[in-house]
Amino acid sequence: MKKFLFLFIFISALGLAQDKTVVKRDPYLQPSAPARTQPLKPEDKIKIIHADKIIKDPEKYEGNQYFTGNVQIEHQGSVLTADEVVLYSEENFAKAIGNTKLQNADGSVITAGEMEYDGNTQKGVARKNVVLTDPKQTIKTDILYYDKLANQAYFNTGGTISDGQNVMYTKSATYFLNTKMIDFVGNVKIDNPQYIIEGVNIKQNQNTKIAEFFGPTTITNRENPKNRVYTERGTYKMETKEAFLNKNSKIFYNDKILTGDDMYYNQITGFGKATGNVTLDDPKERRFIKGGYGEIFEKKDSAMMTRSPYAVKAMEKDSVYFAAEKIISYQKPDTLDVNVKKSYLRAYKKARIYKSNAQGRADSIAFNETDGVMHMYTHPILWSGEKQVTGDKVEAYFNTKNENIDSLKVIGNAFAISKVDSLNLKDEFNQVKGKFMTVYYEKNDIREARVVGNAQSIVYVDDTDQETKQPQRIGITLSACGIIGALFEERALQIISCSIGATSDTYPMSKIEPAKRKFPDFNWNTKDRIRKWQDILVDTPNYDEIKYTGDNELYNQAQEAIEKERAKEEAKKPKRVRK
């Protein structure tokens, strides 16, 4: 009896004539071409598999016949079930109402409150609590448009897509069932237990678990929301948490910001790298580092920059500039208080530093930014005004309140040189040297030096002419002591103390030869001198060496007089005549 009823319904559905009323379709299902004139092949028609009743009511569905009770229809391998189905046989079109479910041959299932389906185009619309499920994810929305030929589904009324690990919220999306690719348009949010992705145009492959970003997108760490990634073009591997960023990208980590043309970041390991126009900004330290290539290690709170890198630490009234072949910055807990982190900066190979009142270079520079202690290693040289300090190692101590240099310690072969008069090009330099030296600053300039161990000095001595009130050169004082205390004045170096085995002699300018006016290791350097901050961007500014003129007139005159006297004495001696 049931088989007979199924057959009767099936024959009736195909054979009974229907009114010619044009069906009201969703705009998505409006035919784009004129209705076909050739009859449909049987395999192309929508088929009624089962229904409890077949009804035709002039007052309902424009008089078209409809089926109720456990209705089941089939088309091209897909089966649609519903409480009620209106079938427009001539148009090969069906409307399903109530508990609709479409089972597709590819394994995907769509459930909804109602559906429309066009057998000619194999397009459909599902409405009211729509759910599309397949082995990869579940889509929920109010209205879903699907195309069996293109094998894709689309919604623009807002919806969610979940795959067991991620829940995606979006206004509009297209799902390609063959490739398992989801194309999100408009504002998108992907919610994961470890992170949140928010963007405006995202494509995600459910097979490979790779998301592509085509607009402003942010990936935020749930555990630490301040740690996030921003990009306007990039790729994200959702399983390995790896981001490949290619446009206007930023990595925010530990209150720092890394930017670059092309970037990579692994959220699991905390490793990131950037190439091209790289900047590492540290707002808390008021310092940034720039270079051609950079790496960050989030868990170690460290970073490295190469390819012509330089760093700038901003201060209230001044800034400090660093450059080298490689710059490293890192933070580590204070040994006295683990809750306090200290910041460090390292510059390796051909390191340079510029500050308005101090400039220097060394093979490497290490700077404790928190405590304001800077170490310069291997052939360090530091300039302040027209004063130069060299040694085996230089330590500079910054006042962390006023951010000025308070003092220097020079360890090993300490040597301080100051130009006697910076307004002329005379070859006149005050010098003090020894094993160790402490240099004190006052008003951003070198004021005093204390030298310990084999201390020696060469000092030009002036006095004021009582008539002209102008300084008058007396001569040069050579001193040697165990400890020397020296005071740097505007145009003079005053030896204020000379103790332990002290010897001191002052020679008039006519009595001291030029070679003794400088120590043998005198090395006044003007070629490599950093005079503006841009000079740190090159290994050396390679300035022309300043040519100084020696004031040897009095000495030469004295030597000439001596030679004349010697000649006279020689002339008085009797000539020996060979017989």
> What is the b/e burial string over 137-153, where b = at least 16 CB atoms within 10 angstroms of the residue's CB?
bebbbbbbbbbbeebbb
For residue 536, give the 3-state DSSP assignment. helix
pLDDT > 90? residue 100: yes
Token output for 484: 């020397």
Q: What is the mean pLDDT of residues 546-575?
A: 78
Specify the pLDDT at position 294. Answer: 97
Token output for 522: 């005198």
Going by pLDDT thresholds of 50, 70 and 90, the confidence category of residue 10 is very low
Going by pLDDT thresholds of 50, 70 and 90, the confidence category of residue 36 is low
Q: What is the mean pLDDT of residues 175-191?
A: 91
pTM of this structure: 0.82
Return the higher-pLDDT residue of 551 and 331.
331
Specify the pLDDT at position 8. Answer: 37
Q: Which of 133, 48, 60, 56 is nearest to 94 (CA)?
A: 48
Q: Domain spans of the chain?
A: 43-157, 387-573
Percentage of the chain modeled with pLDDT above 90 = 58
Specify the pLDDT at position 571. Answer: 72
Q: What stretch of H or E contains 172? A: strand 167-176
The angle at the Cα of 552, spanning 548 to 554, to the nearest 5 degrees, equals 150
Cα dihedral 384, 385, 391, 393 in deg (nearest 10): 10
Q: Which amino acid is at 143?
A: I
Q: What average pLDDT is seen over the chain?
A: 88
By mean pLDDT, which of 10-24, 126-140, 300-314, 558-572 is the weakest? 10-24
Specify the pLDDT at position 23. Answer: 66
Express each pLDDT in 253-286 by its tens digit.
Answer: 999 999 999 999 999 999 999 999 999 999 998 9
Pairing between β-strand 138-147 and β-strand 319-323 as defined by DSSP bridges: unpaired
Q: What is the mean pLDDT of residues 229-250?
A: 95
Q: What stretch of H or E contains 566? A: helix 553-572
User: Span 43-157: which CATH code?
Assistant: 2.60.450.10
Q: Is the alpha carbon torsion for 353, 358, 362, 367 positive or negative?
A: negative
Match 């405590």 to its residue by tokens: 371
Going by pLDDT thresholds of 50, 70 and 90, the confidence category of residue 18 is very low
Going by pLDDT thresholds of 50, 70 and 90, the confidence category of residue 563 is confident
Pairing between β-strand 138-147 and β-strand 152-155 as defined by DSSP bridges: antiparallel
Specify the pLDDT at position 19. Answer: 43
Instruction: Measure the CA–CA gap between 170 and 190, rounded to whole angstroms.
Output: 9
Specify the pLDDT at position 385. Answer: 86
pLDDT > 80? residue 487: yes
Match 């390609």 to its residue by tokens: 176
Going by pLDDT thresholds of 50, 70 and 90, the confidence category of residue 579 is low
Q: What are phi and psi of 154, to 5 degrees?
A: -145, 140
Going by pLDDT thresholds of 50, 70 and 90, the confidence category of residue 29 is confident
